[in-house]
Amino acid sequence: MAQSFAHGNHSHTRRAVRNGGGRTGGRTARDRDRRVLSQNFLVDPDAVARVAEAAGPHDLVLEPGAGEGVLTRALAETCGQVVGYEIDPLLAGKLAARTSGDERIRVVRGDFLAARAPREPFAVAGNIPYAITSKIVDWCLRAPGLTSATLVTQLEYARKRTGDFGRWSMLTVRTWPWYRWELLDGIGREAFRPVPAVDSAILRIERRTAPPGQAGPDLPGYRDFVEYGFTGLGGSLHATLRLRHPADRVDAAFTAAGVNPDAVVAHVHPDRWRVLYEHLHR
């Protein structure tokens, strides 16, 4: 179930035509509920198959916003257990009834964001509520057992997080040593009902592999380093870092990373950030 906006309190579902009395003609209480939840269901079979294929097989998958269960059932074909979270009680009840005989599927009537992350390795996959995209992504990044998150998001959000605009967001750079961010495929608005006013995409966040028993590279202060670099206090990244580090060391770090000193902070590739960090924190 996709909610229909990424930022702000504005639905991207096409507005219904209002009648002369100021009320939407023919709108039922259920229609109003759907608007409040901004429900846009993924109905195109090809799009559903592409999302399930992108998610891949897993022993355990959590699905935020299971909705009518189209993706839930597709995920269950390749995964050991799918736990679908649905906050709409009517939809959750219907899905639970439809899948009651399928041991691979468990439906939770509640908010995914309130869920406790499993201790064992697990994946997240879903056509998520766009209004809380950032909150769901943050939940995933905080979960120690997460192996990957395959999310249908607003196209603009996916492009922003994966450098597709030629710019990199601070969140992506800050998490890059531990997570790989990829825009796998686009999904047109026609694949949803009701039809939204924007296109979507499949965003893949995958935890980078690490030696057994390790959580990934030990880079103390790396996140703070990135956050400081993005403040833009000096104008360019080069000038900003020179406010905290000797000029000659910053110059040497930029040379080693192959970054132009005049580069705009958001244009510096995440791989280059790590080189800068390692040269300045020896």
Annotated binding site for S-adenosyl-L-methionine: 40, 42, 65, 86, 111, 127
- Here the tokens at position 116 are 């406790």
**Alpha carbons 152 and 130: distance in angstroms, whole number:** 9
Question: Of the candidates 255, 262, 9, 273, which has an alpha carbon nearest to the alpha carbon of residue 132?
Answer: 9
Q: Which two tokens stand for residue 247?
A: 């000029």
Residues 6+ apart with CB under 8 A from 169: 160, 161, 266
Contact 52, 76 (CB under 8 A): no
Closest CA to 123 of 216, 167, 58: 58
Sheet of 200-207, strands arranged across: 105-109, 81-86, 60-64, 122-127, 146-154, 200-207, 179-187
Q: Which residues are annotated as a binding site?
A: 40, 42, 65, 86, 111, 127
Please state, in angstroms and rounded to a whole number, the distance separating the CA atoms of residues 107 and 37. Answer: 18
